[in-house]
Chain A
Amino acid sequence: MKKILVSFSVAMALVFSLLAAGVMADSHTAKVRVLHASPDAPAVDVYVNGDLTLEEVPFKTDSGYLEVPAGTHDVEVFASGTEYAAGEGVLQADLAVEAGKAYTVAAANLLESIEFVVAEDSMEVTEGKTKVRVGHLSPDAPAVDVGLIGGDALFSGAEFPGITDYAELDAGTYDLEIRLPDGTQVLPLEGTELAADTVYSVFAVNTVDSLEVIALVDYEAAGSPDGMPTTGLGTPDQSQSMWLLIGGALVLFGTSTLVWKRRFQ
Chain B
Amino acid sequence: MEQVPLFGKDGFNKQLMALLLLFLLAGCQQPVDEVSIRSENVGFTLDEPAAVTIQQPAPLSNPINGLKRTGIQPDTLKIPAIDVEAQVQHLGMTKTGEMAVPDNIEDVSWFSPGYQPGQNGRAVIAGHVDGVEGPAIFWDLSELQLGDEVLVQDEDRTLTFKVHTMESVPLDLADVSAVFGYTSSPELVLITCSGTYDFDRGTREERLIVYASLIENE
A residues with a Cβ closer than 8 A to B are: 1, 4-17, 20, 22-27, 29, 33, 52, 55, 61-65, 123, 189-195, 198, 200, 202, 212-217, 219-238, 240-241, 243-244, 247, 250-251, 253-254, 257-258, 261-262, 265
Contacts and interface: CB of A to CB of B under 8 A. Distances in A.
A200 B64 contact: yes
A200 B128 CA distance: 38
Interface in B1-58: 4, 6, 8, 13, 16-17, 19-20, 23, 26-27, 30, 32-33, 35-36, 45-58
In the A-B complex, list the 3 residue pairs whose CB atoms are closest, starting with the nearest. Answer: A223-B113, A226-B97, A247-B23
B145 to A, nearest CB: 16
A241 B202 CA distance: 16
Interface of B: 4, 6, 8, 13, 16-17, 19-20, 23, 26-27, 30, 32-33, 35-36, 45-59, 61-65, 67-68, 92-93, 96-101, 105, 109, 111, 113-115, 119-121, 126-134, 136, 138, 164-165, 167, 169-171, 173-185, 191-193, 197, 199, 202-204, 207, 209, 211
Contacts of B57: 7
Does more than half of chain A's interface fall in helix, strand or loop, or is it mixed? mixed
Contact of B52 (A11, A193, A198): A11
A195 B119 CA distance: 14
A230 B68 contact: no
A32 B164 CA distance: 20
A246 to B, nearest CB: 9
Contact of B184 (A1, A217, A231): A217
Contacts of A251: 16, 20, 23
A229 to B, nearest CB: 4
A26 B173 contact: yes
A7 B192 CA distance: 39
Given A217-B67, A261-B4, A231 B176 contact: no
Contacts of B171: 228
25 contacts: A4-B59, A7-B56, A7-B57, A7-B59, A10-B53, A14-B49, A16-B164, A23-B165, A23-B167, A25-B175, A27-B178, A213-B64, A215-B64, A217-B68, A220-B182, A225-B99, A227-B176, A228-B98, A229-B101, A233-B105, A234-B134, A237-B32, A243-B23, A244-B27, A251-B20
